Amino acid sequence: MTSIDVPISTGREGAPSGSLVQSLGAVNVGDAERWASAIGGGALLVYGMTQRPPSNALLALAGGYLLLRGASGHCFAYQALGVSTASPAAGKIHIEKHVSINQPIGEVYQFWRNLENLPRFMKHLKEVRTLDAKRSHWVANAPLGASVEWDAAIIMEQTDELIAWRSLPDAQVPNAGTVRFRALPAGRGTEVTVILEYMPPAGAIGAAFAKLFGEEPGQQVEGDLRRLRSVLEAGEIPTVNGQPSGRGRQQTHEAEREGSWQAREMQQQGALQEKEVNR
């Protein structure tokens, strides 16, 4: 399959535009060092708070710097020496997932192309608002109850084949990707392939913490695509044991109870009328 390179829009190389990382400089510390700096800095900061002046201030300052080094991935000493232990794509997350949907390719494409449909099956999206023919505003859930927002633009599209997008400069979460649509043989529906690349807040550290809290990005996308298939094939998103939502089941049961009550009332009225006739 031919891929399309959709670069993430950032400020300095390796640093999201408008972020703390950009203000400090490019990422030049590897993931293992960042973890060590973050953990060691936190421990040093806590220890410093238990000490007396002036050592407490010095320890707290050193701990704070190590925390900053871990969170930003930038080391001033490395910068001065021209050293970098970070990979070229440090902190960047790349995901590719597929799903087959038993619906015509035109219907699947048009559903996705209406970007305001995306929160219907993308669990972590709160809202997508269309700004014009190409641009849109996105609001997404983030770990620990936070939320992030950004504007994106469609940079390439081919009807019933491809949609490619990229976040605009200064996005809180720089991201880019493509979704491809392919008609399956013998009328068996449509294959949807999603390729997503983004830079999470705090780079690799943020991505690792997200995994710890059950927010693994690949699993998110897999779940989103399963929900897309459910929406397009069944018109609803299954919950427990493949059943519709609880509210739908409750409404169904209430309707059944209402129908049973009305049937019993009609039977009782019929019996009374029959007694009157027999008299």
* pLDDT top residue among 261 and 128: 128
pLDDT digits (tens, 9 = 90+) for 166-217: 999 888 778 899 999 999 999 999 999 999 988 766 555 566 555 555 567 7
DSSP string, 128-190: EEE-SSSEEEEEEE-GGG-EEEEEEEEEEEETTTEEEEEEPTT-SS-EEEEEEEEEPGGG--E
In which residue are the tokens 């407490």 written?
56
- The answer to whether the pTM exceeds 0.95 is no
56 with 102, same domain? no
Where does the pLDDT of residue 110 fall: very low under 50, low under 70, confident under 90, or very high at 90 and above? Answer: very high
Whether 97 and 74 share a structural domain: no
Reported confidence tier of residue 47, pLDDT bands at 50, 70, 90: confident
Does 44 fall in a domain? yes
**Which CATH number fits the domain that encloses residue 141?**
3.30.530.20
Domain that holds residue 45: 28-81
Distance CA 224, CA 208 (A): 20
Decide: residue 269, CB within 10 A, 0-12 exposed, 13-18 middle, 19+ buried. exposed
Residues 214 and 35 sit within 8 Å (Cβ to Cβ) = no
Q: Is residue 175 part of a domain?
A: yes
Let me know if residue 230 belongs to a domain: yes
Kindly state the tokens that stand for 251. 């409404």
Q: Do 169 and 126 share a domain, yes or no?
A: yes
The count of domains in the chain is 2
Least trusted range by pLDDT, from 75-89, 118-132, 175-189: 75-89
Q: Who's near 42: CB < 8 A, 6+ residues apart?
A: 63, 67
Residue 121 lies in a domain: yes
Same domain flag for 97 and 181: yes
Rounded Cα gap, residues 98 and 181, in angstroms:
10
Distances (CA, A) of 235 to 118, 230, 231: 14, 7, 4
